[in-house]
Structure 1
């Protein structure tokens, strides 16, 4: 079978699965939605119990969620990724079907906004207990909000629906007014992950800067780009000599991983593209050299950490295509991109069309997470088709 058919058939199987599931699904972190867990006050009010419950279900090789009453639901960030994906497909092949999907996801996203903050914003559809913080259901985060708002801007460029742009512009007010800022001695700062924490997570802050710079390219508002530059400068100040970034500054955030590095790089690229300011390009170039030479094996396996292949997580190969596209590196590294996609399809796609969560040393987690796996893989395919149109089957209807 040719590469064209390999990739497109794989994509079609994934698209069919997502459509049949109505784009609802489980998430690695959604176990606190369990009706059983919520019915036991001693557990549901305990930080330790919530963290242990979340980690158990995240790490379990089998999907036990149906047994404890965790429902399949819409995840706003997943919808944002699907929205961008269908915008990509429409640009390749302007079908009415794709336009209908764009409007469907755009409308659903507008309906799922979290109310009560300074601007449009979105969070996840579950309580989330992490080591650094607890986030009640639908607590807005800069990560979810940026991916969703960028999806709305993609949709606005196609549909010219003003409400899509208005929500994306409004999201900048959330970033500027509701997120905590951690300052350095130069007056630069890092945006917090959410309004409820003070953590310094580099990819999260850079995503906020990415949104501000993209909206600036449309609105021309100086405040947006001035604040974005401060956040970019802060993050670049923490880049290691070899080009790497740790996940964050907390003692338990010092790991270096594949896809968050990719986030950092695409945010730096977007900042330069939308602002016209290329003063941080050297950080991006050093970071990309580290990324491309550290996280991928000759066989096409995407490593999770800088010093460990396992677990092989579906999020890592999906980010490669996006990073290469954003940084203008696809043509140079096309052979690697194709090899990584082929390995991922061969080893991580179910006969039912969906993609597995992780391959560990001793077991594989085949749980079909909608946000973490399916939405990201869907987006990665559409980026591949945009970059290499021969992989897109024009007979599709």
Structure 2
């Protein structure tokens, strides 16, 4: 990456921040079609009675593919903790790159919001979705803490704590770690491996990225707080993730025998968690899994142009060509693993170039999806304006750090 690339990313980020200032911190979402009673009911029917349910969800899928702005007819704009966490991390990174106090202040603002939006009814701090999420296994009610959200919040508080060392942030981090230990259940698979539940009500587990997230959070907390019990739990979840890797290097979404798809951003989630654990501990098993997983990733989850594609093994008909979330996670993973794989570095350069030239709209926000026909231009903080913002800030931070090291 050269100075021209650095300047381009900086320009794109400034335009995005102007958009965020004017648009506000609530938005529609990928799940807005199914968050309300109409869409949620249709989706639940689909899982109970697939043939009848297909008729119920077909008009909604049509809207998703061809009239994405119809989201406003199904649900309302909301604030998303996972997005707030990504914005906090992004602004913290910008503060470190530029030295400007206003970006630090913005990061603190999002942390303050997160302190206020933790899930009620739990002794320790966890965060989830602000809507009822209808899934194959049931409904995750509003306010259910998710192990796929809480680690991002933990990381956001960690970013700012490393800047100002305030005990206030450390207390929230410790509470989040205690939530991951005490509220999330493990299902033992062997004497040294266990799969983590997706939320406190899930005792079955099986979702690969959920265990990867928990392993990272608790390994990070073990280093931060010196708790060996955090490390022991993290290692059991990590052993599950490593053991679930397929011979070709891929990870299915779950080991339940039903959700055996392989998609772009969930693959990135797992690789990111392993990369962060390896950086913390030097874990040899992580290193080997990252190598095999990266080889699979670069060869099967990009199209003939070298751009991210949603699935290598799809669970259903895909009504879009490319996804902003995939671009965000590709760029993020590339910054984490920069220099470890020439093929990955090449894919990231191609992806970043396409993102910077085609995906930002005149107002400063990013397109959400490239559809079969046209684009989904509805800006959604969780899907994935915030993730892309954080990834570009991380890329800029990594490039600047590389310049100083050189």
Which residue of 2 is the match for residue 47 of structure 1?
44
Q: Secondary structure at the match of 1:248?
A: coil
Q: For 2:276 and 2:43, locate their aligned partners in 1 and report how far apart those are by CA, in whole Å.
A: 41
Alignment CA distance shift 1:130-1:196 (3 Å): same
Q: Shift in Å at residue 362 of structure 1?
A: 3.4
**2:365 paired with 1:354:** yes
Q: 1:44/1:259 Cα in 2 relative to 1: closer, same or farther (>3 Å)?
A: closer
Which consecutive unaligned segments of at least 5 residues does structure 2 have?
A: 48-52
Q: Is 1:19 the counterpart of 2:14 in the alignment?
A: no
Matches of 2:88 and 2:207, distance apart in 1: 26
Per-residue deviation, 1:330: 7.1
Whole-Å separation in 2 of the counterparts to 1:153 and 1:245: 28
The alignment partner of 1:64 has SS state of: helix
Query: How far does residue 352 in structure 1 lie from its aligned partner after superposition?
Result: 1.9
CA distance in 2, matches of 1:46, 1:142: 23
User: Is the 2:331–2:351 contact (alpha carbons within 8 Å) kept by the matching residues of 1?
Assistant: no
- Mark the CA change 1:59 to 1:205 in structure 2 (over 3 Å): closer, same or farther: farther
- Cα distance in 2 for partners of 1:152, 1:185 equals 34
For 1:150, the equivalent position in structure 2 comes to 155
Deviation per CA, 1:314-355: give whole Å up to 9, x if none. Answer: 111111121122234379454432321121233332222212
State the alpha-carbon separation in 1 of the partners of residues 210 and 183 from structure 2: 14
Using a 3 Å threshold, how does the CA distance of structure 1 residues 147 and 390 change in structure 2: closer, same or farther? closer
Distance (Å, rounded) in 2 between the aligned partners of 1:294 and 1:46: 30
Give the alignment partner of residue 378 of structure 2, picking from 363, 367, 384. Answer: 367
* Alpha-carbon distance in 2 for matches of 1:32, 1:224: 36
1:53 deviates by 6.2
Aligned counterpart, 2:73? 67
1:188-267 mapped onto 2 (5 Å cutoff): 188-197=193-202, 198-267=204-273
- Residue 391 of structure 1 and its aligned partner are, at CA, apart by 12
Alpha-carbon separation, structure 1, partners of 2:274 and 2:307 = 25
The answer for the alignment partner of 1:169 in structure 2 is 174
What corresponds to 2:348 in structure 1?
337
8 Å CA contact 1:118–1:178 kept in 2: the answer is no
Query: Structure 1 pair 290/45, CA: closer, same or farther in 2 (3 Å)?
Result: closer
Q: Is the 8 A contact 2:192 2:239 kept in 1?
A: no
Moved more, 371-380 or 271-280: 271-280
Query: 1:44–1:256: structure 2 CA closer, same or farther, 3 Å change rule?
Result: closer
- Unaligned 5+ segments in structure 1 are 393-397
TM-aligned CA distance change 1:2 to 1:94, over 3 Å: closer
| Secondary structure, counterpart of 1:184 in structure 2 | strand
Show the counterpart of 1:132.
137
- RMSD of aligned C-alpha atoms? 2.8
Contact residue 212 and residue 273 of structure 2 kept, 8 A:
yes
Partner Cα separation in structure 2 for residue 225 and residue 390 of structure 1: 30
User: Which residue of the partner structure matches residue 320 of structure 1?
Assistant: 330
Whole-Å Cα distance in 1 between the matches of residues 128 and 186 of structure 2? 19
Tell me if structure 2 keeps the 8 A contact 1:61–1:363.
no
Contact 1:321–1:330 (CA under 8 A) maintained in structure 2? no
1:373 offset after TM fit, Å? 1.7
The residue aligned with 1:381 is: 392
- Inter-partner Cα distance in structure 2 for 1:116 and 1:60: 40
Distance (Å, rounded) in 1 between the aligned partners of 2:334 and 2:227: 29
Higher mean alpha-carbon deviation, 74-83 vs 307-316, is at 307-316
Q: Report if the CA contact (8 A) 1:31-1:53 is conserved.
A: no
Q: Secondary structure at the match of 1:351?
A: coil
Superimposed CA distance per residue, residues 143-164 of structure 1 (whole angstroms, 9 cap, x where no aligned partner):
1101111111111111222121
Contact kept? 2:28, 2:72, Cα under 8 Å: no
Are residue 102 (structure 1) and residue 120 (structure 2) matched? no
TM-score (normalised: structure 1) = 0.88
* Matches of 1:249 and 1:136, distance apart in 2: 24
Name the residue aligned to 1:395: none
